[in-house]
Amino acid sequence: MAYRWFELEDGRSVYRKEETRRPKRSTLACPMIAQDTMEPVQSMLDGKMYDSKSKLLSTYRAAGMIEVGNDPARLRTRKRPKPDRAAIKTTVEKAKARFDRGERVRPR
């Protein structure tokens, strides 16, 4: 929705909403098409050359294999965040000091 000035028949101008339609992204019916064809690749399973993704994957599935990408990030070990030892120590010291002063949490 957008706003703009309109001229009425009696000479007055009013500021009102105007219906606006968004333009289509493309004139094509379906602009994103995933094709089945690809450059010929050699299967790691049987050594044959395939130029169809579905045929290649069907041979993998028939043999019980799973196709895995070559993303190197999946091979890296994840780094665990190191705990802030100083913050933990001060929190425990504060809790101990409150306990030593006699502060207790009452159950609800």
* pLDDT, position 56: 93
* pLDDT, position 48: 94
- Residue 70's nearest CA partner among 44, 49, 36 is 44
Structure tokens at 46: 């049987």
* pLDDT, position 16: 87
* pLDDT, position 59: 93
The tens-digit pLDDT sequence of the chain (108 residues) is: 688 888 888 989 998 888 777 766 666 676 677 889 999 999 989 999 999 999 999 999 999 988 877 778 877 888 899 999 999 999 999 999 999 999 887 776
The number of beta carbons lying within 10 Å of the beta carbon of residue 65 is 13
On whether the CB atoms of residues 56 and 41 are closer than 8 A, the answer is: yes
Give the separation between CA 59 and CA 41, rounded to whole angstroms.
13
Count of helices and strands (H, E) across the chain: 2, 4
* pLDDT, position 64: 92
